[in-house]
């Protein structure tokens, strides 16, 4: 498959390596800063992004750019009719808007807060753990994440997804709080805290804490390779699903739809 990479930073380079190792061809790399990108475009010129991708003959697109650019890229790329996998986070509150846009233009898009297979296993583990702990009100719940100091958004999309899984499986927490507390937290508030430091690829922990003990469930990424390979596999499945009719065009898909 010929793949277009929109965003050619650290993740883009790693995705390119993983894609080539799977036998795919990188048709074009598009970026506003990277000097080694095959198509360097002006910041904010999303039509230039679309032209570079269209002229490359790409059969699939992986977008890993920046939260400030992701919506512009999505709206420029979806009308091309080429399946798009989006790894950029920071646009959770606009998923419905993108879903509606995909339906209107017939574009097919897939996104995930985290493409790591291990993280998606973590979601399942958290679902079960929260259900198990639900009868024991003496255990409070919170979640924390840590990423490298170059990450643009906070909290991470993965942390917010973890929080959603917690809320979906407990009646004791109904509100997600991502800011610092200036007063005693309410029992129904789930605190999602973040740290940015160094070169940490990504660590996510869920705490079940009582006066007697603490239970911690942690996923710790060793490198970005798991995210990169997961994005490549997601694009493979998205394109194959559209071709064989298992997936419908004009929709926004998630990791659970493909795996």
Whether 66 sits among the annotated catalytic residues: the reply is: no
Reading the block at residue 95, the tokens are 């998923």
Encode pLDDT of 142-181 as tens digits.
Answer: 999 999 999 988 999 899 999 999 999 999 999 999 999 9
pLDDT at 187 over 80: yes
Superfamily of domain 2-115+224-258: NAD(P)-binding Rossmann-like Domain (3.40.50.720)
Residue 256's pLDDT is: 84
Catalytic residue of the set 24, 40, 75, 151: 151
Q: Residue range 91-120: average pLDDT? A: 94
Whether 151 sits among the annotated catalytic residues: the reply is: yes
Encode pLDDT of 188-237 as tens digits.
Answer: 999 999 999 999 999 999 999 999 999 999 999 998 899 999 999 999 99
- The rounded mean pLDDT for the chain is 96
Residue 92's pLDDT is: 85
Residues at the binding site for NAD(+) are 87-89, 112-115
For the structural domain made of 117-220, what CATH number should be given?
Answer: 3.30.360.10
Residue 175's pLDDT is: 98
Reading the block at residue 239, the tokens are 């394109």
Encode pLDDT of 42-63 as tens digits.
Answer: 999 999 999 999 999 999 999 9
- Contacting residues for 96 by C-beta, under 8 A, at least 6 apart: none
Residues at the binding site for NADP(+) are 54
Share of the chain above pLDDT 70, in %: 100
200 burial level (CB within 10 Å; 0-12, 13-18, 19+): middle
Encode pLDDT of 22-36 as tens digits.
Answer: 999 999 999 999 999
124 burial level (CB within 10 Å; 0-12, 13-18, 19+): exposed
Q: What is the domain partition of the chain in residue ranges?
A: 2-115+224-258, 117-220
Residue 237's pLDDT is: 95
Catalytic residue of the set 13, 147, 191, 204: 147
| Weakest mean pLDDT among 6-15, 62-71, 84-93, 205-214 | 84-93
Reading the block at residue 29, the tokens are 């790399």
Q: Are the folds of 2-115+224-258 and 117-220 the same?
A: no
Element (H, E) at 231: helix 225-244
């Amino acid at each position: 498959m010929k793949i277009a990479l929109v965003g050619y930073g650290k993740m883009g380079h790693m995705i390119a390596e993983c894609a080539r190792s799977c036998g795919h061809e990188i048709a074009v790399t598009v970026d506003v800063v990277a000097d080694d990108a095959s198509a360097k475009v002006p910041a904010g010129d999303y039509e230039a992004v679309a032209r570079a991708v269209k002229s490359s003959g790409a059969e699939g697109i992986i977008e890993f750019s920046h939260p400030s650019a992701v919506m512009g890229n999505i709206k420029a790329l979806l009308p091309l009719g080429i399946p798009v996998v989006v790894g950029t986070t920071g646009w959770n509150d606009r998923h419905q808007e993108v879903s509606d846009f995909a339906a209107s233009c017939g574009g097919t898009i897939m996104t995930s807060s985290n493409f790591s297979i291990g993280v998606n296993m973590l979601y399942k583990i958290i679902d079960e753990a929260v259900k198990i702990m639900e009868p024991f009100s003496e255990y409070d719940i919170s979640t924390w994440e840590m990423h490298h100091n170059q990450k643009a958004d906070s909290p991470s999309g993965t942390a917010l997804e973890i929080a959603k899984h917690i809320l979906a499986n407990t009646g004791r927490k109904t509100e997600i709080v991502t800011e610092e507390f200036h007063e005693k937290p309410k029992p129904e508030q789930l605190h999602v805290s973040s740290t940015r430091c160094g070169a940490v690829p990504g660590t996510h922990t869920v705490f079940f804490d009582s006066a007697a003990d603490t239970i911690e469930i942690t996923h710790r990424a060793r490198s970005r390779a798991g995210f990169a390979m997961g994005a490549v596999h997601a694009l493979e499945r998205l394109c194959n699903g559209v071709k064989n009719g298992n997936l419908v065009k004009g929709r926004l898909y998630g990791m659970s739809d493909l795996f």
